[in-house]
Amino acid sequence: MAKKTIAATDVKGKRVLIRVDFNVPIEDGKITDDRRIREAVPTLKSVLDRGGSLVLMSHLGRPEGKGYEAEFSLAPVAVRLGELLGKPVKFPSKDCTDDAAASAVAGLQAGEVLLLENVRFAKGEKKGEPAYAAKLASYGDIYVNDAFGTAHREDGSMFAVPKSMTGKPRVAGLLLEKELKFLSEALSKPAKPFIVVLGGAKVSDKIGVIDNLLPKADGIIIGGAMAYTFLKALGRGVGTSKVEEDKVSEAKRMIDAAAKAKCELYLPVDHVCSTQFSEMSGDIEVFDENIKPGFMGLDIGPKTQTKYSMALRKAKTIVWNGPMGVFEFMPFSTGTRQVGQAIAEATAGGAVSIVGGGDSAAAAEKFGLASKMTHVSTGGGASLEMLSGKPFTTVELLDNA
């Protein structure tokens, strides 16, 4: 069921309480990737332009509800957001529910913006304690969920807060709307051929996605270290490659399920290997089929790159989640770059491409391909859970359109 959005909600003179996901990487007090903040701006501007005021809530990192901790402060985010909006962002207190925060919220004028400090500093956030949730709920006339990256978590600000705002409008932000459009609706009837590209370290993270998309996909392309658990299931020599021993039988089950579903499962046919997990040291060699003992696979090989790229160029819908190799290390970055390039080319030819957040989004950015994709998600764990077909209670509770 489509959700009502902030664009369809009257906000004039209203205080709009928005849960955003400003959980951005920060090093030495500097934001190293502000994409999640930039992606929230359309929602924020939509409210400000129509005469509403903004009370924003977010978490950052994983503090455990023990009060203020400087390393997890949203202070750098308040500064960056002010730059992006071109107006000051009030950042009143180290505690999102104390008197200073509450009175700053009460004094907010139309067109003004206030960011609360990290909600995970509060003991009540993780469990959604009623008194805590009621306090945050009192800050808004309208609740907006625009935190797709956190939408798989039933934290207080995601769930208990809107729950306790029954009777007031509770709607989707524009970023959440866009994420749902691509990670859920677009995949309910994907244009064919539909190819899913999965990579990264662990099979265990991707089992739900494979099981959910197998019946719809024409092909599933596998790369990254997770490929070695599959190859081990087929009895191939994998050397010292990373294998999840306890998932080998699951891999075998998925190979059989793919055959039954007439979904082609693509596994690497050659491998760029090294004797060490390192960018600088170790002997690098390419092996077909069986990897020599003492070597580990760190990227898909050139034949695999060609094979995968050819399959992708014919696709009309593509989902990409997870790199093909250790793309952070130059000698093992080619597979991910080539696959990303092939997806970008398919997109230029009319395919819809959807890139999961986390590592694949980082890879797309690194290789200058992000703007060539149809949609790059802001969610890591959230995009995986949505691609697994799991229901999101934090979205379900929002008003229907």
- 336 contacts which partner out of ligand 3PG, Mg ion, none, CB within 5 to 8 A by kind? none
| Residue 23's binding partner out of ligand 3PG, Mg ion, none, with CB under 5 to 8 Å set by partner kind | ligand 3PG
Closer CB to ligand 3PG, residue 266 or residue 392? 392
SS3 assignment, position 190? coil
Residue with tokens 């999101």: 392
Catalytic machinery residues: 36, 202, 358, 381
Residue nearest to ligand 3PG (CB): 23
Q: How far apart are CA 286 and CA 266, in angstroms?
A: 19
Amino acid (1-letter code) at residue 125:
E
CB 125 within 8 A of CB 156: yes
Are 199 and 355 in contact by the 8 Å Cβ rule? The answer is no
Residues 6+ apart with CB under 8 A from 65: 120, 121, 122, 123, 124, 125, 126
Choosing among Mg ion, ligand 3PG, none, which partner's interface includes residue 146 (Cβ < 5 to 8 Å by kind)?
Answer: none
Count of residues touching Mg ion (by CB under 5 A):
1
**What's the closest the beta carbon of residue 23 comes to ligand 3PG, in angstroms?**
3
Q: Toward Mg ion, which CB reaches closer, 151 or 217?
A: 151
6 vs 142: CA distance, rounded Å? 9
Nearest residue (CB) to ligand 3PG, 30 versus 62: 62
> Which of Mg ion, ligand 3PG, none interacts with 219 (beta carbon under 5 to 8 A by kind)?
none
Shortest reach from residue 14's CB to ligand 3PG, in Å: 27
**Residue 124 touches which of ligand 3PG, Mg ion, none (CB < 5 to 8 A by kind)?**
none
Cβ 377 to Mg ion, closest distance in Å? 12
Q: Closest Cα partner for 379 from 361, 365, 392, 393?
A: 361
21 makes contact, choosing from ligand 3PG, Mg ion, none, with CB < 5 to 8 Å by partner type, with ligand 3PG
Q: Strands 317-321 and 194-198: what pairing?
A: parallel
- Distance between CA atoms of 46 and 7, rounded to whole angstroms? 7
Least distance to ligand 3PG, CB of residue 273, Å? 31
Which residues have a Cβ under 8 Å from the Cβ of 270 and sit 6 or more positions away? 286, 287, 288, 289, 300, 301, 302, 303, 304
Alpha-carbon distance of 290 to 346, in angstroms, equals 31
Nearest-approach distance from CB 381 to ligand 3PG, in angstroms: 5
In 75-159, which residue ranges form alpha helices assigned H by DSSP? 75-85, 99-106, 124-127, 130-137
- In the complex with Mg ion, the residue whose CB is nearer, 179 or 299, is 179
- Nearer of residues 130 and 381 to Mg ion, judged by Cβ: 381
- Which residues from 366-395 bind Mg ion, rule CB under 5 A? 381
Q: Is the peptide bond before 193 cis (omega within 30 degrees of 0)?
A: yes
Q: Which is nearer to ligand 3PG, 22 or 266 (CB)?
A: 22
Shortest Cβ 151–Mg ion spacing (Å)? 11
| CA atoms of 62 and 128, how far apart (whole Å) | 16
CA distance 274 to 326: 11
Q: Which is nearer to ligand 3PG, 208 or 381 (CB)?
A: 381
**Footprint of ligand 3PG (CB under 6 A):** 21, 23, 62, 149-150, 153, 380-381
CB of 155 to ligand 3PG, least distance (A): 7
Which residue matches tokens 């391909």?
Answer: 369
Interface with Mg ion in residues 160-199 (CB under 5 A):
none
What backbone phi and psi angles, to 5 degrees, belong to 195?
A: -115, 135
Q: Closer to ligand 3PG by CB, 75 or 257: give it.
A: 75
Does 61 sit near Mg ion (CB under 5 A)? no
Minimum distance of Mg ion from residue 256's CB (angstroms): 31
**Residue 385: how many other CB atoms lie within 10 Å:** 19
Q: Are 4 and 401 in contact (CB under 8 A)?
A: yes
- What are the tokens at 83? 């730059």
In this structure, are residues 160 and 133 in contact, taking their beta carbons and an 8 Å threshold? Answer: yes
For Mg ion, the binding residues (CB under 5 A) are 381
